A and B are shown apart, each in its own frame.
Chain A
Amino acid sequence: MTSSTQSDPIIKIDQVSKTYPGDVQAVKNVSLEVHQGEFFALLGPSGCGKTTLLRMLAGFEIPNEGTIMIDGEDMTDVQPNARCVNMVFQSYAVFPHMTVAENVGYGLKVDRVKKKEIQERVAEALELVRLGDLGARMPDELSGGQRQRVALARALVKRPKVLLLDEPLSALDAKLREAMQMELVRLQKTVGITFIIVTHDQSEALSMANRIAVMEGGTVRQIATPEELYEDPNSRFVADFIGQINLFDGTAVASQTEEKVCATVEPFGTMEIWGETLGPVSLAIRPEKINIDIEKPTTSEHPMAQGTVTDIAYYGGYSNVFVDVAGTRIMAEVSNDTRIRSSTFERGTKVWISFNAEDALALGD
C-alpha cells in the first residue's frame, strides 16, 4: 500500500526468464520490484518457480533473459560471493564441522574483518536471534529451530541489503512455525533489512508479508498486499489459492456502472457485481460473506436462494456449513460467537443463503 509508491526499488526484476537444461521453463518473463524495508513474499504452489527466482537473486542461477538490478546495480551475471544479498537455505546448510559462533563468523572471516570486530558482531547477531549463550555448541547439538536461527544470524551478520529466505519454516512443527513467523516479523522490523521469503503456505505469506507476489507455472499472477489479495484477487487462480472461496460459473455483460458487470449466475439470477471481465466468468464470494438463515431474509435486494445443509465442519471458533442449492454446493462460514449456537444448523435443515452483491467479484482465469 505504502511502499509500492516509494522511489528506487532495492530489487528490480525485469522480464526475467529461466530455462533449465531439458527445456524446463521454470520462470517465464517475470517482472517485479521490491522496495527497501519491505517484507516481500513469493507465494505459489510447489514447482511454480519460486526457488528458481530466489536463486537468481542470490546468483546461483543466471537468467536466460532479462535483468536483475540490486540497489541500482545490474547484478544479472554477478557471482553469488560478490552480491550484497544473503540467503537462508531451506536446509539451513549450517556447517556441521564448525561451532555456532564459527558458523556465524564465517562470512566475516572470509571478508577479512578484524578478529575483535568479528567477535562483537557474532555476539550481537546471536543475541538478535536469541541464541546468546549457544555460541560454543556444535550444530548437531541444536534443535531444528535453533539451527535455523544460526542460519539467520549467519546471514544477518553480513548486513546484507536483502535477505533471501527459501521456505524457512517448512521444516518446523506447527507450533514452532507460528512462533517463528512472529519472530521473523520482529527481526525484520528490528534490523530494517528487506526480506524476500519464498513459501507455498498462503497463511504464512498473509500473516508475515507486506506484499506478496502470487506465482503459478513460472509466471507472476498478482502482486499485492495481503488484504488486496484476499479481498480483490485479479483472477480465479489467485482467489482460489488465497484462503477459501465459493466460485460459481456464469456469464457477464457490460453494465452502466464503471468497473462493474452484469453477471448472470445460477441459482442467484442476474446482479451487478465488481469485475471487468466479460463473457464466461466465475462469481467469487468468500464463505464468511455469505449469510445463512432459517427464515427468508427480508432484505430483498440481496441475491438469495434456498437449499439444504449437507455438511458441517466444526473448527471451534467458526464452522463451515455446506449447503446444496439445486445441485450447487455453497460454503458459508458461521462464527460461533456464542456458546449455545452450534446446534442451529443440522444436516438436512432447509436454509436460506444470501449475500451482499457488493461482496462478490466476477473473475476470469
Chain B
Amino acid sequence: MDSWRQHRSAFWAAFTAPTFWLVVFFLIPLSLLWLFSFGEKEGITGINITWTLKQYARALDPLYLGIFAKSLWMAFLTTLICLIIAFPVAIAIVFAPPKARLWLLLLIILPFWTNLLIRTYALIAVLRTRGQVNFGLEWMWEHANSFLTLVGLGSYNLLGADFEPLGMLYNNSAVLIGLVYVHLPFMVLPLYAALDRLDRSYMEASFDLGAGHIRTFRSIIIPLALPGIASGIVITFIPAMGSYLTPDLLGGTDSQMIANVIERQFKSANDWPFGAALSFILMYVTFFGLALRAVLSKREKMGGKAA
C-alpha cells in the first residue's frame, strides 16, 4: 500500500508539470483569444466581449478571403513542389548504401538545427541581385560571351550588351522558393520512413511479374507509401499555410499571406478581436485538413493495410 502511494505521488509529479504547462501557456491564452474574437475594440487597449459575430463577418470581406485563398494556394503549391522533389530524394536515400544513407539523412535534418531567421537571411544572400545565383549566372554569361567572341560573334551582343541580374527577391516566386526550402525536410522524412519500411520483395515481385520501373512506382510503391505521403502532405501543408516569416522577409507588397495579416492586427492595427477571429478561422481550416487526413487513412485501413 505504501508503494501504491509512492506510485501515486510519482504519477502526480509527472502529470502535474505538463498539465500545468499546457493549461497556463496554451489553453488559457487560447481561450482568451477565442473570447476576444467575439468582442469589440473599446478605446486603445480595451476589449469588450459582446458575443458579436462582427469580426468573423469582417473576415468574409473579399480582401481577406482573397488572402486566405492565396495562402491556401501558396501552401498547396509548396506542398506539391515539396512532394515532387522529396519523392526522388527519399527513394535515393532508401536505396543508398547504408553508410551514405546516414549522411544523407543528416543533410536533410541539418537545417532544423539552424534558426529559421538565419536560414531565410541566408536565402536572401543567395537570391539577391548581388547574390550567389546571380554571380553564377553572370559567370556563365561572361564565359558564353567570350566563347562567342572567340568564334567571331562577339560584336553582335547576342546575349545582351550587359549582364542583367535576375530579380529573384521580394515577389511571390521568392516566397514559394523560401517555403519549399523551409518545408522540404517535413516532406522528405515521412516519405523516407514510409519507403524504408516497405518490403523490397514487393518491388521485386512486381519486376518479376513483368512490370517496369514506372509501373512498379505507380502500382506498388505509391499505394504502399500512401500513409507516409499523407503524413508528409499534412505536416508540410499546415505550417506552410501559416507561414509568417518567409513571406514577410522574402515577399513583396503583394506576397503577404494570412499570418502576415494576423500579425498586423495584433501589432500595427492594434485590433485584437479581428486578429483573434482570423486566427481561429485559420485554425478551423487546419482542423478540417487534419480531419480529412483521418478520414482518408481510415478508408485506407479498411481497404487493406500495408504490411
The stretch of B116-124, B136-144, B185-193, B211-219 that contacts the partner chain:
B211-219
B224 beta carbon closer than 8 Å to chain A: yes
Residues of B with C-beta under 8 A to A139: 304
Bound Cα distance from A140 to B307, whole angstroms: 9
Q: What are the interface flags for B188-212 relative to A under an 8 Å C-beta threshold, 1 for contact and 0 otherwise?
A: 0000000000010110111111111
Selecting from A104-112, A122-130, A249-257, the interface stretch reads A104-112
Distance, CA A1 to CA B285, complexed state (A):
75
Residues in B whose Cβ lies below 8 Å from that of A97: 223-224, 303-304, 306
CB-defined contacts of B304 to chain A, threshold 8 Å? 96-98, 138-140
Q: CB of B267 within 8 A of chain A?
A: no
Give A85-108 as 1s and 0s: 1 = Cβ < 8 Å from B's Cβ atoms: 011011101011110000000110
CA distance A59 to B223 in the complex (A): 25
Contact in complex: B219, A93 (CB < 8 Å): no
Complex CA–CA separation, A62 to B162 (angstroms): 55
Contacts of B105 in A (CB 8 A): none
Residues of A within 8 A of B199 (CB): 91, 93
A161 at the interface (CB under 8 A from B): no
Please name the residue on chain A nearest to B97 by beta carbon.
Answer: A21
| A30→B206 CA distance, assembly (Å) | 28
**What is the CA–CA distance of A155 and B204 in the complex, to the nearest angstrom?**
13
Closest to B200 in A: A93
Question: Residue of A at shortest CB range from B303?
Answer: A97
Please judge, given known A-B contacts A93-B199, A95-B220, A96-B307, whether A81 and B205 are in contact too, CB under 8 Å.
Answer: no
* CB of B101 closer than 8 Å to a CB of A: no
Q: Is the CB of B224 within 8 A of A96?
A: yes
From B202, B210, B219, B224, A81 is in contact (CB under 8 Å) with B210
B306 touches A81 (CB 8 A): no
Query: Does A60 sit within 8 A of B, measured CB to CB?
Result: yes
Whether B205 pairs with A95 at a CB distance below 8 angstroms is yes
Q: Of all chain A residues, which has the CB nearest B211?
A: A110
With both chains docked as a complex, state the minimum distance between the C-beta of A57 and any C-beta of chain B, in angstroms: 11
**A87 in contact with B220 (CB, 8 Å):** no
Structural contact, A58 and B206, CB atoms closer than 8 A: no
Partner of B209, one of A79, A91, A106, A138: A106
Please tell me if A50 contacts chain B, counting CB pairs below 8 Å. no
B289 CB to closest chain A CB (Å) equals: 24
The yes or no answer to A211 lying at the interface (CB within 8 A) is no
Decide if B205 touches A93 in the complex (CB within 8 Å). yes
Contact with B along A149-167 (1 / 0, CB 8 A): 0000011001000000000
- In the complex, A66 has a CB within 8 A of chain B: no
Which listed residue (B201, B209, B223, B224) contacts A110, Cβ 8 A? B209
Query: Nearest Cβ in chain B — how far from A77, in angstroms?
Result: 15
- A80 is an interface residue with CB less than 8 A from chain B: yes
Q: Which residues of B contact A59 (CB under 8 A)?
A: 207-208
CB 8 Å contact bits of A70-90 with B (1 = contact, 0 = none): 000000000111000011011
CB distance from A290 to the nearest CB of B (A): 46
- B205 — nearest CB in chain A belongs to which residue? A93
A81 touches B208 (CB 8 A): yes
How many residues belonging to A are interface residues under a CB distance threshold of 8 Å? 26
Smallest CB gap from B304: residue in A:
A138
Complex contacts, A81 vs chain B, CB 8 Å: 207-212
Does chain A have a CB within 8 A of B7?
no
Q: Is B204 touching A80 in the complex (CB atoms < 8 A)? A: yes
Convert B277-306 into 0s and 1s, putting 1 for each residue whose CB lies closer than 8 angstroms to a CB of A: 000000000000000000000000001111
Q: Which residue of B lies closest to A98 (CB)?
A: B304
CA distance in complex: A110, B306 (Å): 21
Q: Do B210 and A110 touch across chains, with their CB atoms under 8 A apart?
A: yes
Kindly state the separation between the CA atoms of A81 and B219 in the bound complex, as whole angstroms: 15
What residues of chain B lie closer than 8 Å to A140, measured between beta carbons? 304-305
Tell me the complex Cα distance, A154–B199, Å. 18
Are A87 and B208 touching (Cβ within 8 A)? yes
A88 CB to closest chain B CB (Å) equals 9
Task: Report which of B206, B210, B212, B305 forms a contact with A96, defined as CB distance below 8 A.
Answer: B305
Nearest CB in chain A to that of B307: its residue: A96
Question: Contacts A97-B224, A138-B304: A158 and B210 contacting too (C-beta < 8 A)?
Answer: yes
Which residue in chain B gives the minimum CB-CB distance to A85?
B208
Measured CA separation A302–B215 after assembly (Å): 69
Nearest-CB residue, chain A, relative to B215: A110
Q: How far is the CA of A93 from the CA of B307 in the complex (A)?
A: 10
Nearest B residue to A84 by beta-carbon distance? B210
Contacts of B215 in A (CB 8 A): 110
User: Which of B202, B207, B208, B212 interacts with A95 by CB under 8 Å?
Assistant: B202
Of B202, B209, B211, B307, most buried by chain A (CB within 10 Å of CB) is B209
Cβ-closest chain B residue relative to A164: B208
Shortest A172–chain B CB gap in Å is 17
A95 CA to B219 CA, complexed, in Å:
10
Residues of A within 8 A of B224 (CB): 95-97
Whether A89 contacts B207 by the Cβ 8 Å rule is: no
Residue picked from B205, B219, B223, most chain A C-beta under 10 Å:
B205
Distance of A17 from chain B, by nearest CB (Å): 22
* CB 8 Å contact bits of A324-349 with B (1 = contact, 0 = none): 00000000000000000000000000
Taking the nearest CB of chain A, how far is it from the CB of B42, in angstroms?
58
27 pairs of residues in contact across A and B, judged by CB atoms under 8 Å: A59-B207, A59-B208, A60-B208, A80-B207, A81-B208, A81-B212, A86-B209, A87-B204, A87-B205, A87-B208, A93-B205, A95-B202, A95-B205, A95-B206, A95-B220, A95-B224, A96-B305, A96-B306, A97-B304, A98-B304, A106-B211, A106-B219, A107-B209, A107-B210, A111-B210, A138-B303, A138-B304
B→A interface (CB under 8 Å): 199, 201-202, 204-212, 215, 219-220, 223-224, 303-307
Q: Which 6 A-B pairs have the closest CB atoms?
A: A107-B209, A138-B304, A93-B201, A93-B205, A80-B207, A110-B211
Residues of chain A whose beta carbon lies under 8 Å from any beta carbon of chain B: 58-60, 79-81, 86-87, 89-91, 93, 95-98, 106-107, 110-111, 138-140, 154-155, 158
**With A59-B208, A80-B204, A96-B304 given, can you name 16 additional A-B contacts, CB distance below 8 Å?**
A59-B207, A60-B207, A81-B207, A87-B205, A93-B201, A95-B220, A96-B306, A96-B307, A97-B224, A97-B303, A107-B209, A107-B211, A110-B211, A138-B304, A140-B304, A140-B305
